[in-house]
Structure 1
Amino acid sequence: MSGQQALRRLPFAVMPAVALTDLLAGPSLGFLPLLTLGPSFASVTGSVRRTALAGLVALVLAVLLGAYNGVLSTWQHDLSLATIVSVTGASMLAGHLRLRRERELADVRLVAETAQRVLLRPVPRKAGDLRVALSYTSAAAGARIGGDLYEVVTTPHGVRLLIGDVQGKGLDAVETAAWVLGAFREAAYDEADLGDVGERLESSLARQLGGETFVTAIVAEVRDGCVTLLNHGHPPPYLIGADGTAAALEPPAEGLPLGLGALHPERPKPSQADFREGDRILFLTDGVIEARDAAGAFYPLPDRVGLLLTGDPQTALDALSADLLRHTGGPLLDDAAMLLLHRQSG
C-alpha cells in the first residue's frame, strides 16, 4: 500500500480504534472528542465531501457510544458532539482551501511546463559528425519550474550549442529563457566569432533584464577537431576521452553570468580543447552537481562520468540520469539538464 493510500484510509481506521478504546474504557473515561481525528485527517488528503463523510461517521459513532454508555443528554456528551461538528466544519474549510491552492499551483505549473516545452524544442540527434544525446529531469512536483535552457544548431561556423540556467523560477524564468534562446538562435548563424555571439546575448539581455536577474551559460563551438568554450559563470563541461580519461574543462578565468556585464567591462575569454574522434563532452546545469542524497552529500559527478565512456550516447546518458536519481533517492529539487556530444570515428 502506498503512503497516499494509507493516508486516505487513516480517517476511517482511526475512528473505529477510538470507538473500541471508548468501549473498553467504559463511561468513566471519555474518548469521544478523539473522534475528531477522523475529519481532521480526511481534510489532509481527501475532498470536502470525504471530510464531511468522516465527520458524519464520527458524529454517528459518538451518538451510539453515548447511548451505550448511558451519557446521552449530559453536558459532557453534548460538548463532544459540538466539538465534532465544529472540527468537521473547520476541516471542510481547510480542505476546500487546500484543494483550491493545489489547482492553482497545478495550473501555473502546467502553463510554465508548456511554455518551457515550446521553447526547448527537441535537439537534433546528429549535427555534422556529432551525435547528440539529451537528458532533462524535471524537479519535484512541489518545486517551481526552473529556467534550464539548451540548444544545438549547425551553422556555417561549425556546430554551436548553448546550455544555461536562469536565476529564479516560474514563468519569469521561462520568459528570460525565451529571450536568451531567441538571441542565440540568431547570433549563432550571424556571427563568425564565438565571442561576438556572447556579446549579442549580453546586449539582448541588458535590454530585457532588470535588477539582479542573470543567466549562467556556456556557449560552445565544435569545429575542425576542436571545441571552443565561452563560459559565463556556468558549471564546466566534462571532456571524456576515447582512452577513458575525463577532465572538467575549467575556464581560464571566472566569467560573469549573462545580464551582469555592466558590473565589469572584462568579458569571458574563449578557451579551446582538442575534441578528437571517439571523444565525448558532457554539458550540464547545476541541478546535476547540486543534487543531494539523504545525508546531504552532493552528487559525485567526477566519479560517475565513467558511465558515459561506452555504448550509445543516449543510452549512456540515460544511465547517468538514472544514477543521479538513485543518489537522491527521489525526485530532484531543481531541474537538471545534460547534453552529451559524441564525435564519431571515421
Structure 2
Amino acid sequence: MRSGRALVLIPLGLIAAVCVVDVLAPPDIHLGPLLVAAPAITAGFAGPLLTALIALLAVGAQVFIGVARGVIATENLEAQIGALILVSALIVVYCLVRDRSERQLTHSRSVAQAVQEVLFPPLPLHSGSLDIASLYLAAQDEATMGGDLYAAARTSHSTRLLIADVRGKGLPAISHAALLLGAFRAAAHRQPTLPRLAVHLDGVMRWESRQWQTTDTPDIDEAFATALILDVPDREPVVHLVNCGHPSPLLMSAGRTYLLDAKKIAAPLGLGGLSGTEEDYTVESFAFQPGDEFLLYTDGVLEARDAKGEFFPLVVRANMWGAELPDDLLRLLCDDLLAHTRGRLGDDAGAVAVRRRLQ
C-alpha cells in the first residue's frame, strides 16, 4: 500500500515538471504532449479510478499551460488537448479490461486450488511413529498439479504410502493421477497385501485406458505410471515396498545415505499382463530404525539438468545435507534442485520425506 502511494508521486511530479518547464520555456518549445505519459505510468501500478484521476489532472495541466502562455484558443493546443483526452480514455479502458481479466484469473486460480485440495490433499504431518513432509514442483509456470502424485493411508497397525509418476502431461495425466489416487485410497486401508494392492492399481489403470477401446479405435494410448507402494509398520523397524518401475528410495541412516534397490522390479502400473497376479509383484523389506529417514521422489528430480545438460546428483547432494527433519530435508532438496536447474525444471518433480521418530 505504501509503495503504491509513493509511486503516485511519479506521475504527479511529471505533471508539475511539464507545467513549470513549458510555461517558462521559449514560445517555440512545447512539452505539453509529454503529459500523456502521466496516465500511462499510473496504469502500470494502479486501477482505472486512479488512472482516470491522473488523466484529468493531465488534461487540466494542459489547459493551464494554454492559459498561461495565452494560446488556449489556438487549433494546435485544442488538438493537443483532444489527443490527450482520447489517449487517456483508451488507457482507462485498458485498465478496466485488465482488471476484469485479473479478477477472472484470480477466480480460476481459486477454483483450481480447490480442485487440487480435493483431488490431491496434502499428506498428514504425522502417522503412527512417522513424521512426513511432501514437496511438489511443477515444471509449467502457474501449474499446481500434474502427473506426479503421492498419497498416504492408515491401516490398523501401519502406514501405507504411494508415490507415482503418470505418463504424459496436461489434463490427461492429471485425470489418470486422480484415478490412481482414488483407487489407492479406496483399497489401501483395507489391508490387502502389497502385491494384491499393486494388482488392484494395475487393473484400474489398464481398465481406464482400455474400456473404450474397440476395433474402430485400436490406437488409444495406454495410460501407465511408475510407482512405489510402501508399508511401514508402527512397531517393526522395517519398511516393505513393491517397486513398479520407479526410482529407488533414498535411505539416510546413521550418517550414511544409500539407495534401497529392489532385486526385482515389476512393470509400471497399467502395463501388467491381462491376467496379472500377485506373483508378478515382489515385496522387499529394508531396515528402518528410529531416527532413520527415507526420501521418495519422481524421475523429475533425477532427470533435472543444469545448463551443461548434466543430471542432478541426488545421492551426492543428499550426503551433504545432514537434515534431521523431513521438512528440512525437502527444503534442502528444493533449494539444490532449483539452483542446479536455475529455476527451470524440465519435468514435474515430487518428493516425500519420511522419518521414524525416536522412541
Shorter-chain TM range is 0.7 to 0.9
What residue in structure 2 maps to residue 283 of structure 1?
296
Look at both structures and tell me which one has the larger radius of gyration over its CA atoms: 2
Once the two structures are overlaid, the 10-residue window that deviates more, 44-53 or 328-337, is 328-337
Q: Deviations over 1:59-107 (max 9, x none)?
A: 1111112223333233332222122112112112211121111111111
In structure 1, what is the Cα distance between the partners aligned to 2:264 and 2:59? 72
Contact 1:51 1:92 in 2 (8 A): yes
Contact 2:133 2:327 in 1 (8 A): no
In structure 2, what is the Cα distance between the partners aligned to 1:305 and 1:326? 15
TM-superposed deviation, 1:143: 0.7
Select which of 309, 315, 318 maps to 1:305: 318
Identity of aligned residues (%): 29
Q: 1:101 to 1:26 in 2, by over 3 A?
A: same
In structure 2, what is the Cα distance between the partners aligned to 1:139 and 1:81? 50
TM-superposed deviation, 1:28: 2.0
Contact 2:243 2:266 in 1 (8 A): no
TM-score (norm 1): 0.73
In structure 1, what is the Cα distance between the partners aligned to 2:305 and 2:275? 36
What residue in structure 2 maps to residue 73 of structure 1?
73
Structure 2 counterpart SS, 1:123? coil
TM-superposed deviation, 1:243: 2.8
Contact 2:15 2:58 in 1 (8 A): yes
Aligned letter for 2:197?
A: V
Q: 1:23 to 1:317 in 2, by over 3 A?
A: farther
Q: Deviations over 1:284-304 (max 9, x none)?
A: 356766889999998765454
What residue in structure 2 maps to residue 40 of structure 1?
40
What residue in structure 1 maps to residue 144 of structure 2?
145
In structure 2, what is the Cα distance between the partners aligned to 1:325 and 1:47? 38
Task: Structure 1: give runs of 5+ residues left out of the alignment.
Answer: none
What residue in structure 1 maps to residue 216 of structure 2?
none
In structure 1, what is the Cα distance between the partners aligned to 2:333 and 2:266? 28
What residue in structure 2 maps to residue 91 of structure 1?
91
What residue in structure 1 maps to residue 351 of structure 2?
338
RMSD: 4.7
In structure 2, what is the Cα distance between the partners aligned to 1:175 and 1:169? 9
Task: Structure 2: give runs of 5+ residues left out of the alignment.
Answer: 213-219
What residue in structure 2 maps to residue 82 of structure 1?
82
Query: Is residue 102 from structure 1 mapped to residue 102 from structure 2 by the alignment?
Result: yes
Structure 1 counterpart SS, 2:256? coil
Structure 2 counterpart SS, 1:146? coil
Contact 1:242 1:280 in 2 (8 A): no
Q: 1:208 to 1:254 in 2, by over 3 A?
A: closer
Correspondence list, 1:184-263, <5 A: 184-189=184-189, 192-208=192-208, 216-222=225-231, 225-232=238-245, 236-247=248-259, 261=271
Aligned letter for 1:15?
A: I
TM-score (norm 2): 0.71
What residue in structure 1 maps to residue 28 of structure 2?
28
TM-superposed deviation, 1:183: 0.5
Q: 1:92 to 1:263 in 2, by over 3 A?
A: farther
TM-superposed deviation, 1:124: 3.8
Query: Is residue 112 from structure 1 mapped to residue 112 from structure 2 by the alignment?
Result: yes
